[in-house]
Structure 1
Amino acid sequence: MKRIYIYLFAALLTMSACETDLEQFPINQVSSSSLDDYEGVLNAAYYYQLGAVTTQAVMGDFRSDNAFMFEPPYTEFDIFSGTNLKSQEDQFFRPFYSQLYKCILSANIVIENSTSATEVGEAQFLRALSYYKLILAFGDVSVNLSASPSSSDTEIQVRQPKANVYTNVVIPDLQAAMAALSSTISEGRASKFAAQALLGKVYAAMGDYGNAETHLSAVAGASQFGLEGSYTDVFDTSNELNSEVIFAVQRSGSIVDEYTYATEFPGWFGGNDSKSDYPVTEEFYNAFDASDARRNLIDVFSASPFQATSTKYSLTNAPEYDWIDIRLADVILLLAEARNENGGSAESVLDLLDGIRSRVGLAPLDHTVISSQSAVRKAILDERRFELAFEGQRWFDLVRTGSVDSEMGQSINSNYYVFPIPISEINATNGVITQNAGY
């Protein structure tokens, strides 16, 4: 059962047709400061993460070499020159952008007004998570830190360099959240370790592997977490919030989110949408070691032409799958990446991968063969691909590690490392919010 209760207040945090997502406010309140209980507003912030789940999954895997679209114009996800990817604004980029900025506004209200240190810490985590996701998808982003932004304030509309957003907003929010939150995960809410793990991921995204290793190592060594014995147990809907989950966006068929399209992320990977009946690429399937249990979660219907779907998420339980934003295997693999980039020995780095590999039937990697920093780097990237497949991470991993061209097998203009800003946002601000180059 889902333990984060979604208040009706969430449905009231909507925006009018002529407003940018940065300027929405609770339409049933004269002022956010007139509230004296901010639990509902905080739950609204959690709720709005739901609307970004499916779009993140599609962007992270269908833009990469893991999955592909079959039906035009969705095939634009696989085209990196003269792309018309903007045509998918309504289904993908607009919901992602809108829901995360709604989460940010709700978080701002709690941060400004709540007298509960725990509520404020959770809100700071959710605001940081939202900006982190927005930066991954769009690069430079607009920043609003106010609970009641003015529609005439163009300063909050101008896109800020992503490095500044990380330094001035995301990192301070996560540091404050770590100080305010408990080490114990309660009812799936944000914890100190969720904030610390995300901080490690942020530092890795910035290329600051020294700080990344410090924070990721602390989370990887925490007694609260452990790898599940079976890979499939991590994603079993009867085993939600298991020992491997550090933070997940909780979903339920009884909670309707604001992503209005019928196909949710399990359906996209399971071939439940005609835009991609067989989404798994042949190259990805063939890249697996034949003895890797994770390969068994791909159903091959035809060898020629190759047609395959992923069974990582059951289609019969699709609405019940939580979206796991951060789990222990992700942290361990990113820790290995950080340690390798910091000059750690190949043996000390590859040892981190052994538990992840052994539970899917693979032997430890041969340290005498994979010994150079570049060879270890490639081994970690491959392991992240297999382990985190269809969790919305692959494309962003390629961009972070500078591996887009080598892994995708083509020269791709860096303009297309990010996605197009919704045109509706650009129009709503009379061009103050600008479009990404190439779109």
Structure 2
Amino acid sequence: MKTIYIVLAALVLFTSCDNDLDQSPILDLEASNLVDFGPVLNAAYYYQTGVAMSQAVMGDFRADNMLMQEDPFTSIDTYNSDLAGGDMTEAFFSPVYSNLYKAILSANNVIENSSEPTEVAEAQFIRALSYFKLVMIFGDVSINLSATPSTSDLSILTRQPAADVYNNVIIPDFKAAIAGLDNTGLASGRASQIAARAFLGKVYMHRGNYASAVTELAAVVSAATAANVILENNFADVVTDISSEILFATQISSSISVADGSSSSSTFVGWFGGSDTKSLLPLDPRLTAAFDASSASGGGTDLRKALTIDVANSKGVKYTGGLDQDFIEMRLSDAILLYAEALNETSSPATTVLPLLDKIRSRAGLNSLTGTISSQAAVRTAIANERRLELALEGHRWFDLVRTGTVDAQMGVSVNSNYYIFPIPLSEITATNGVITQNAGY
């Protein structure tokens, strides 16, 4: 059952201004007139639905898991300025940019004005998550921490260094969410303490702060059972809406329009399944080869292959939820693999790191790696391979390659680092008279 979204609550903050930091809620919803900020918080959650499709496509189709086949969308599979073309910008980047800033504005309203501590902590979680997505996708971005940003001073839209966004917004907000939340929200699909810790750990991984990542991710792994978060016995169940290992998901319902105006939110399912004309046969043969290599070296058949891809029809089959398929943003397997990676990068021995992979590999029908490899480099490779196959088609692959500095090695081409991130939507640049600037190379 979808517990977060009520249609009216989700629509109260729709706006029509020219840029996304310069919005005023309709229906006279000024803070002075509001008593109940629950609907405003629901709107912050709701806007994530307008990001899911683009995030999933960027994560796998930009990388070596899936292929785009129709011009001009094939530019997502190449690494040059073509990606900034009008059709691509409209289809993939504008919804992400606009909906994340709408979520941020809604969160700001709750943080500034709500008297309910749990609402404020949830809003801090959503604001942190929204800015995390923005910097992963676009790099430097505008910072707005006000519910009522100036409508006349466009200088507030000047893009700030991604490092400052991490240090001044994302990390403090996730820490505040950890302090203000417990884990009761897990049952209803809302923000929780354990999810905030998991994302903070992931943020530290992106910053190369492995020691801090170890602290947060160790807390996630140790607290999981008490929070009723456990690995599914069957890999077929890992991305179902009732999966026991979900730490946070953007909930989606076909009865409620997605935040980008689509009639149904779960459009990412169709992209992987080959039902979108832009990619009728989306499976990249390199993903098939990776699964086959896993089986060959793992002492058995990697059970994840048949549950993730259909080689005969060249498509993905991981998602079975149809139009109501939730977008899983963080699950326990992701956190465990990040924890293993953080331990390895802080020079923990292989005998400490590899057992973390055992339950994940065992579920996949593979042998334990413990005792078979020992060097830090070999363990690093094993973890990267496991993340690729365990999280395939969940929107992580490209961002993992960028984070670990392995784009060239894995893609087999030399990629200019300008193209590690994506182009700023042209509409944002135009609406701000160039105060918001384009990323280098586009």
Q: If the length of structure 1 is used for normalisation, what is the TM-score?
A: 0.94
Q: Distance in 2 between matches of 1:155 and 1:233?
A: 48
Corresponding pairs, count: 427
Q: C-alpha offsets along residues 261-304 of structure 1, whole Å, 9 cap, x if unaligned? A: 57701100000111111111111101113401111121122xxx
2:56 pairs with 1:57:
yes
Q: Which moved more, 1:243-252 or 1:184-193?
A: 184-193
Q: Report if the CA contact (8 A) 1:7-1:43 is conserved.
A: no
2:32 corresponding residue in structure 1: 33
Q: Report if the CA contact (8 A) 1:299-1:310 is conserved.
A: yes
Cα separation, partners in 2 of 1:366 and 1:179, compared to 1, 3 Å:
closer
Q: CA shift at 1:186, angstroms? A: 3.7
Q: Report if the CA contact (8 A) 1:6-1:44 is conserved.
A: no
Q: C-alpha offsets along residues 12-41 of structure 1, whole Å, 9 cap, x if unaligned? A: 32232x521011121212622321110000
Q: Structure 2: 5+ residue runs without aligned partners?
A: 296-300
Structure 1 counterpart of 2:290, one-letter code: A
Q: Distance in 2 between matches of 1:122 and 1:6?
A: 17
2:137 pairs with 1:137:
yes
After superposition, residues 281-430 of structure 1 pair within 5 angstroms as 281-288=284-291, 289-290=294-295, 291-297=301-307, 298-301=309-312, 308-314=314-320, 317-368=321-372, 370-430=373-433
Structure 1 counterpart of 2:420, one-letter code: Y
Q: Distance in 2 between matches of 1:218 and 1:281?
A: 36
Q: Which moved more, 1:100-109 or 1:22-31?
A: 22-31
Q: Distance in 1 between matches of 2:168 and 2:8?
A: 33
Q: CA shift at 1:183, angstroms? A: 2.6
Cα separation, partners in 2 of 1:372 and 1:363, compared to 1, 3 Å:
same
2:179 corresponding residue in structure 1: 179
Identical amino acids, percent of aligned pairs: 56
Q: Distance in 2 between matches of 1:159 and 1:99?
A: 17
Q: Distance in 1 between matches of 2:393 and 2:260?
A: 19
1:304 corresponding residue in structure 2: none
2:298 corresponding residue in structure 1: none
RMSD: 1.4
Q: CA shift at 1:107, angstroms? A: 0.3
1:154 corresponding residue in structure 2: 154
Q: Which moved more, 1:281-290 or 1:259-268?
A: 259-268
Structure 2 counterpart of 1:249, one-letter code: T
Q: Report if the CA contact (8 A) 1:339-1:349 is conserved.
A: yes
2:314 aligned counterpart, secondary structure: strand
1:74 corresponding residue in structure 2: 73
1:324 aligned counterpart, secondary structure: strand
Q: CA shift at 1:154, angstroms? A: 2.6
Q: C-alpha offsets along residues 340-367 of structure 1, whole Å, 9 cap, x if unaligned? A: 1101111211111000010010111153
Q: C-alpha offsets along residues 229-267 of structure 1, whole Å, 9 cap, x if unaligned? A: 011112234xx2x32011111111112112345770110
Q: C-alpha offsets along residues 115-142 of structure 1, whole Å, 9 cap, x if unaligned? A: 0000000000000000000111001111
After superposition, residues 166-245 of structure 1 pair within 5 angstroms as 166-184=166-184, 185-222=186-223, 223=225, 224=227, 225-237=229-241, 240=242, 242-245=243-246
Q: Report if the CA contact (8 A) 1:174-1:195 is conserved.
A: yes
Q: Report if the CA contact (8 A) 2:159-2:437 is conserved.
A: yes
Q: Structure 1: 5+ residue runs without aligned partners?
A: 302-306
2:385 aligned counterpart, secondary structure: helix
Q: C-alpha offsets along residues 162-198 of structure 1, whole Å, 9 cap, x if unaligned? A: 1111111111111111111113324111011111111
Q: Distance in 2 between matches of 1:152 and 1:134?
A: 24
Structure 2 counterpart of 1:120, one-letter code: V
Q: Distance in 1 between matches of 2:120 and 2:429?
A: 31
Structure 1 counterpart of 2:374, one-letter code: S
2:94 pairs with 1:111:
no
Q: Distance in 2 between matches of 1:272 and 1:186?
A: 32
Q: Which runs of 4+ in 1 moved over 4 A?
A: none
Cα separation, partners in 2 of 1:111 and 1:82, compared to 1, 3 Å:
closer
Q: Which moved more, 1:150-159 or 1:275-284?
A: 150-159
Q: Distance in 1 between matches of 2:352 and 2:416?
A: 35
Q: Distance in 1 between matches of 2:130 and 2:253?
A: 21
Cα separation, partners in 2 of 1:251 and 1:82, compared to 1, 3 Å:
closer
Structure 2 counterpart of 1:300, one-letter code: V
Q: Distance in 2 between matches of 1:41 and 1:359?
A: 41
Q: Report if the CA contact (8 A) 2:83-2:423 is conserved.
A: no
Q: Which moved more, 1:226-235 or 1:123-132?
A: 226-235
Cα separation, partners in 2 of 1:74 and 1:152, compared to 1, 3 Å:
same
Cα separation, partners in 2 of 1:73 and 1:335, compared to 1, 3 Å:
same
2:437 aligned counterpart, secondary structure: coil
Q: Distance in 2 between matches of 1:367 and 1:136?
A: 36
Q: Which moved more, 1:94-103 or 1:30-39?
A: 30-39
Q: Report if the CA contact (8 A) 2:155-2:435 is conserved.
A: no
Q: Distance in 2 between matches of 1:24 and 1:392?
A: 29
Q: Report if the CA contact (8 A) 1:25-1:105 is conserved.
A: no
1:433 corresponds to which of 428, 432, 436? 436
Q: Report if the CA contact (8 A) 1:7-1:40 is conserved.
A: no
Q: CA shift at 1:86, angstroms? A: 3.0
2:311 aligned counterpart, secondary structure: strand
Q: Report if the CA contact (8 A) 1:26-1:32 is conserved.
A: no
